[in-house]
Structure 1
Amino acid sequence: MKVPLGVVKWSQVLILFLLNVSCNLIWLAYAPVADASAAYFNGSLSVVNWLNNVYVLMFLPGSVVSALVLDRSGVRRAIQLGSILQCVGVAFCFGAAFVQNSTARIGLTVVGQAITGFAQPFFLDACPKQAYDWFPVDQRAVPTACSTIGSPVGSAVAFLIVPAVVQSQGDIQTLLLYYTCLLAGLMIITLVVAREPPPQAESALKEEVRIETSLRKSYSKCLGTKLFWLLSVTAAGGISLFSDFTSYLNQIMSPYGYTSDDTGTMGAVLVFSGVIATFVFGYLADRTRRHAVILKVNVLMVFVGYVFFSIIFNKPGNFVLAVVACAIIGIFSVGSLPVFLDIIVAVTRQHGIGEGVSMSLLWGSSQVLIVIMNVIWDRTRNPDQSYPAVPWIVLGTWAACLIPLQFYPLSQDMIHLDARLKELSGDHEGAKH
């Protein structure tokens, strides 16, 4: 019996969603239980933070390779290769648990984190391209949201699972065993179930714009596109701040009497509120095609959330208020992500730039910012292990990052980009005849 096309294409979205979930499970295997992880490595909190940095830094070379694979071989090959790399990486981390020498354990874990970090862009960069391959122009924000939110969902799940499983440093080995089995199963599913889009899928209605095949020329074009940077500076800043804020939440709050369970709940609210919002804003963007308007409002609301958190975070007993602040930040940060991705791809496609290139630059920029902020934040830690300056650094950084988006012209909103892409498609069809 032939499987309906709708079932097939949403199964592909589900696979990519699960792969993005798995990325953040590995990335946050240690940070939510920072003290136990430091004891596991017989090191300091800086060791735990630098393991996060290794994962993030390896995203950069991975982005270049993923852009090449995505634009030349497609989503299927990219996510299959990424799933294999990710499985190999977590196997290194699990193997490190059996090594007693702390230096060797750290070294093997660094290798594992590096390989899994290299694999992540094969999944994140694929989200908008998958939507463009399988869905028509007015239905792409929602599937982009569905696959992309796997990353923050993975963060939320990690904040719930890791503190529940890891009660002491010895439990980290058990956690890594679970992760190894999970990723091995997911790799098998990806290799078997991932599909190429059929020639006459619904996306045959999509605009046909000639995509530049030279990677060097594509990057050069993208770097020279002003509208791309007006969107991407704010998007990359938001992604990096949210990622660092999530991974440091336990360390920020614990000096003020909040437990790992408390910060786990905050992290879960931070992410799951955003997950719900992605569907709301994704649907709203698809229906109205007013992506820029939605984003201009949302980034201001994120600023309000960071202001609120900065005021109340260092006062013990403010658990409910902290959860409310996390909800505001999550709704408007995570909720904006698929809207950003959709309009960035539309802006760059009209210049003949493939999704792999534009996404690798966006995500790569955000990873660089993550590392920079990790180093800065680590230097602001007090001798009592508190981070009193971090929320204010976040607030100031976001105030600077949201400015470029405010200069994005509404005359280039998605509804106008759609019309422009149709014109380009018509010109392309005319040239063929």
Structure 2
Amino acid sequence: MARWSVIVVFALLGAVTQVLWVTYAPVTDAASQVYGVSDGAIGWLANVFPLLYVLLAIPAGMVLDRWFRGGLAAGAVLTALGAVLRLGDGYGWALLGQLVVGVAQPLVLNAITGVASRYLPPADRPTGIAIGSASTFAGLIVGFGLGAVFASPAGIRPLLLVQAALAVVVAVAVLVVLRRPAPNVAHGAVAALAAKAVAEPDGPVPTPVGGAAEPAGEPASGGIGAVREALRDPVIRRLCVLVFVPFGVFVSLTTFAQPLLEPAGVSEATAGLILVANVVAGVVGCAIVPVLASRYRVEVRFMGVALAVTALACVALAVVPGVPVGFVAVIALGFALLPALPIVLELTERRAGRAEGTATGLIWLTGNLGGLVLAAVVGLLVDHPMAAFLLLGALSLLTLPLLRVFRPTFSAIQR
């Protein structure tokens, strides 16, 4: 039970980082009035997060590989500190607070696999990773919900106070559960290889991805060595390639759904409801699908279905856009596409061994790059919705053949 309490507290921290990320998105107009700046300046309060993630994903993974509990504790403290700094008077304090939380976010999200592998036995790790991943999407729902409650200039200050209190409480809870070291549970590839060694005592001693196995509880190699381990592993590289398009499609649709659907008569308020429904469906999918996919070893099959559903949803939005199709297509897309992230993270946890934090950082880094690149392209096509939707659908279909190429990869990392 104590192990699961760590998972729950960590999930709350992951959710809080996302709540703070989207704080100003649903209250852009109100915030611009309060701070006396343009809507574009308010947009940068959210845009700094993916930019900082691209810069800090690998360093954060190196920190977690070397000092896992210390790195995660630093992420919790910085998250709370950033939330409190935003209470200062003026736009400068808001931007400073967002920058501090943006620095903390890679330390938190890169730890999703590490928390599961250090505190849960192998059979429970898919569930732990699914909970951690789903919590990040749940945080988006909470963030948009709070924005709807405090959607006025007078509500900005109470909104920031509520979120700061939430961040401080969760940070304290994280520090409390991290006081005790993780159980002596071998994790990732080390656990799998140890089991194989027991089953085949006369065979050669296997080694994990980056080198010799290390006893459970030993510190990871960390530093540049962890980066080399992750980058020279072809399996990790292929998993990174695999998340580029799905992550990019999701970010592009959530960023530009409203202007892309507006010519079809979808209002801003309705588009907001469609996006909330999308994320809710994704949270439900993340809580259910990855666990079942791991249990029945159908990760490849599910990811193929997810890409096919995404392509069909994009084609439907291109050909017959509107409110009913928007709801059905985007909900189906959320349920199918978002669970791909925890599935890939769980496969990464199985494979990465000592370079777990860095490998997870690479996955998140590639996904964020996919989001930045595809969102930029879709932004150029925002006045041509059909072309934008068809492009995202075509990219999803073109990713399908990769699953056939990667099938041996998935077979190589079955636990």
What does the per-residue CA deviation read over 1:202-230, in whole Å, with 9 as the maximum and x for residues that have no partner? Answer: 99965444267153233234223333233
Cα 1:418–1:146, aligned 2, differ >3 Å: closer, same or farther? same
SS of residue in 2 equivalent to 1:29: coil
* Alignment map for 1:119-198 (pairs within 5 Å): 119-166=104-151, 168-194=152-178, 195-198=180-183
Is the 8 Å Cα contact of residues 306 and 391 (structure 1) preserved in structure 2?
yes
Aligned to 1:430: none
What does the per-residue CA deviation read over 1:19-38, in whole Å, with 9 as the maximum and x for residues that have no partner? Answer: 11111111111223444444
CA distance in structure 2 between the aligned counterparts of 1:253 and 1:284, rounded to whole angstroms? 34
| Overall identity of the aligned pairs, in % | 21
User: Scaled by the length of structure 2, what TM-score is found?
Assistant: 0.83
CA positional deviation for 1:396: 4.4
CA distance in structure 2 between the aligned counterparts of 1:108 and 1:390, rounded to whole angstroms? 37
Q: Please say if 1:355 is aligned against 2:348.
A: no
Q: Please say if 1:60 is aligned against 2:54.
A: yes
Aligned to 1:8: 2
Structure 2 spans left out of the alignment, 5+ residues: 195-207, 215-219
What does the per-residue CA deviation read over 1:163-218, in whole Å, with 9 as the maximum and x for residues that have no partner? Answer: 2321x334222211211111111111111123432226899965444267153233
Is the 8 Å Cα contact of residues 145 and 282 (structure 1) preserved in structure 2?
yes
CA positional deviation for 1:153: 0.9
Cα 1:220–1:68, aligned 2, differ >3 Å: closer, same or farther? closer
Is the 8 Å Cα contact of residues 59 and 119 (structure 1) preserved in structure 2?
no
* Alignment map for 1:15-414 (pairs within 5 Å): 15-74=9-68, 76-95=69-88, 98-99=89-90, 105=91, 107-166=92-151, 168-194=152-178, 195-199=180-184, 207-208=193-194, 209=208, 210=213, 213-253=221-261, 258-259=266-267, 261-313=269-321, 318-349=322-353, 353-380=354-381, 390-409=388-407, 411-414=408-411
Cα 1:190–1:290, aligned 2, differ >3 Å: closer, same or farther? same
CA positional deviation for 1:235: 1.4
CA distance in structure 2 between the aligned counterparts of 1:244 and 1:83, rounded to whole angstroms? 29
CA distance in structure 1 between the aligned counterparts of 2:165 and 2:176, rounded to whole angstroms? 17
Is the 8 Å Cα contact of residues 76 and 171 (structure 2) preserved in structure 1?
yes
What does the per-residue CA deviation read over 1:260-312, in whole Å, with 9 as the maximum and x for residues that have no partner? Answer: 54233222211121222223322222322232232222222222222223334
CA distance in structure 2 between the aligned counterparts of 1:223 and 1:200, rounded to whole angstroms? 25
CA positional deviation for 1:18: 0.8
User: Scaled by the length of structure 1, what TM-score is found?
Assistant: 0.80
Cα 1:9–1:57, aligned 2, differ >3 Å: closer, same or farther? same
CA positional deviation for 1:375: 4.2
Cα 1:60–1:133, aligned 2, differ >3 Å: closer, same or farther? same
Report the more deviating stretch, 174-183 or 35-44: 35-44
RMSD value, Cα? 2.9
Opposite residue 303 of structure 2, the aligned amino acid is: L
SS of residue in 1 equivalent to 2:87: helix
Is the 8 Å Cα contact of residues 23 and 120 (structure 1) preserved in structure 2?
yes
Opposite residue 49 of structure 2, the aligned amino acid is: Y
Report the more deviating stretch, 64-73 or 368-377: 368-377
What does the per-residue CA deviation read over 1:289-344, in whole Å, with 9 as the maximum and x for residues that have no partner? Answer: 2322322222222222222233344xxxx323211111111111112221111113
CA positional deviation for 1:136: 2.8
CA distance in structure 1 between the aligned counterparts of 2:60 and 2:160, rounded to whole angstroms? 26
CA positional deviation for 1:44: 4.3
Cα 1:86–1:255, aligned 2, differ >3 Å: closer, same or farther? farther
Aligned to 1:422: none
CA positional deviation for 1:387: 6.8
CA distance in structure 1 between the aligned counterparts of 2:249 and 2:277, rounded to whole angstroms? 17
CA distance in structure 1 between the aligned counterparts of 2:386 and 2:84, rounded to whole angstroms? 37
Matched length: 391
